[in-house]
Amino acid sequence: MGNSFGTLFKISTWGESHGGGIGVVIDGCPPRLPLSEDDIQFELDRRRPGQSDITTPRKESDTAQIVSGVYEGLTLGTPIAIYVPNGDHRPSAYSEMKDKFRPSHADFTYQTKFGIRNHEGGGRSSARETIGRVAAGAIAKKILKLSGDVDVRAYITKVHDIEMPPMEKFPLHEDVEASPVRCPHPETAEKMVERIKAVRKDGDSVGGVIECRIRNLPVGLGVPVFDRLEADLAKAMLSLPATKGFEIGSGFAGALIKGSEHNDVFVNKEGKVGTATNRSGGVQGGISNGEELVFRVAFKPTATIIQNQNTVDKDGTETELMGRGRHDPCVVPRAVPIVESMAALVIIDHWMRFQAQCKTFNF
């Protein structure tokens, strides 16, 4: 039913927005990895609601509970189950949405496909489902850091029509987290915050763009033809709620220049093959080339807005709907750790596949 992701490092998420809780089962984590609930909680705290005045006011501690797969602080190599209970329930705020479809939301498609849906908070279609992804991503990020010193860093480059200048250096975590909007350029971040507050006051919403950069990757991650690294990254990112676009390296802008301008020339970098530029975004032929991996994800404005909108009900009768409940006026700030987590899950899965395919046999 589409609730699992990955090949060798595989996750399965479960739970609804206003149900008893959210959880994830991770299968394929190697044994003897030091792991505690604090490792998980650090990342969950970055994505939890109510963390600033530009996010949803829903108050959740999002406290992680490891219920299997870890013994005396070390992973066992068996499935790891993580549970996060829901606390701040307000299902009554969604009573009108039981029979009416929110414009641009999953209400209509879920109801039509399954003939039933949990309308409270969007149920399974809510972004609260991503708790399981972030919990699993925390484990993937720890493995990558310990085994290959791999850094995964996402940050906001654009909110509505406000865009930060290009960033040449790999951003520091503290620079990204310095602002509630998670843009490492202070002047731009301030403008973004003010824009989000302004649209929230009007009961409206805005979208934006997140850039993610990954450094210290080896050459060789990615499996042609259908499991190209950028293809799996695209699937991972476009599986996130509210995503509308994915591009890697030069992206769509690369279609507007000549090959002589776009090609990344190979050079010798301290005895290793590298490229003088990185318009490929760290991937060539679907395989990582050792350069920094760079991609961007576009997020639409939040579908549920606090304004009257025309819609229809389950019988197809035209009506109006006033959005209620607690929603982010811009999903992008809280999506930063989610993008990082999904990127880490793709990378760790391909790293394990690379080790199994290319490092096992010596003919």
pLDDT at site 39: 97
Residue 98 near residue 92, CB atoms below 8 Å: no
Contacts of residues 319-322 at CB distance under 8 Å and 24 or more positions apart, as own/partner, are: 319/100, 321/96, 321/97, 321/100, 321/101, 321/102, 321/103, 322/96
Confidence bin at 361 (pLDDT 50/70/90):
low
Is 282's pLDDT higher than 80? yes
> What domains does the chain contain, in order, with CATH numbers?
4-358 (3.60.150.10)
Is 10's pLDDT higher than 60? yes
Is 58's pLDDT higher than 80? no
From the list 210, 173, 153, 145, the residue with the least C-alpha distance to 351 is 145
At 207-219, the pLDDT tens digits run 999 999 999 999 9
Whole-number mean pLDDT of the chain?
A: 94
What mean pLDDT is predicted for residues 76-105?
A: 88
pLDDT at site 60: 83
pLDDT at site 360: 55
pLDDT at site 362: 55
From the list 346, 285, 8, the residue with the least C-alpha distance to 150 is 346
pLDDT at site 18: 85
Measured between alpha carbons, how far is 351 from 334 in angstroms, rounded to an integer? 27
Question: Which residues are within 8 A (CB) of 110 and not within 5 positions of it... i.e. 6 or more apart?
Answer: 117, 123, 124, 125
What mean pLDDT is predicted for residues 308-316?
A: 94
pLDDT at site 323: 79
Q: What percent of the chain has pLDDT over 90?
A: 84
What mean pLDDT is predicted for residues 307-317?
A: 94
Is 79's pLDDT higher than 70? yes
Q: What percent of the chain has pLDDT over 70?
A: 97
Among all chains, which residue has been given the structure tokens 């949803």?
56
Confidence bin at 94 (pLDDT 50/70/90):
confident
Is 270's pLDDT higher than 80? yes
CB atoms inside a 10 Å sphere around CB 32: 9
What mean pLDDT is predicted for residues 7-27?
A: 95
Confidence bin at 102 (pLDDT 50/70/90):
very high
pLDDT at site 229: 98
At 206-251, the pLDDT tens digits run 999 999 999 999 999 999 999 999 999 999 999 999 999 999 999 9
Residue, of 213 and 306, whose pLDDT is higher: 213
Q: Cα separations (Å) of 123 from 75, 120, 127, 280, 307?
A: 31, 6, 9, 38, 21
What mean pLDDT is predicted for residues 97-101?
A: 91
Measured between alpha carbons, how far is 60 from 130 in angstroms, rounded to an integer? 14
Q: Pull the structure tokens for residue 302.
A: 């939040």
What mean pLDDT is predicted for residues 249-268?
A: 97
pLDDT at site 204: 95
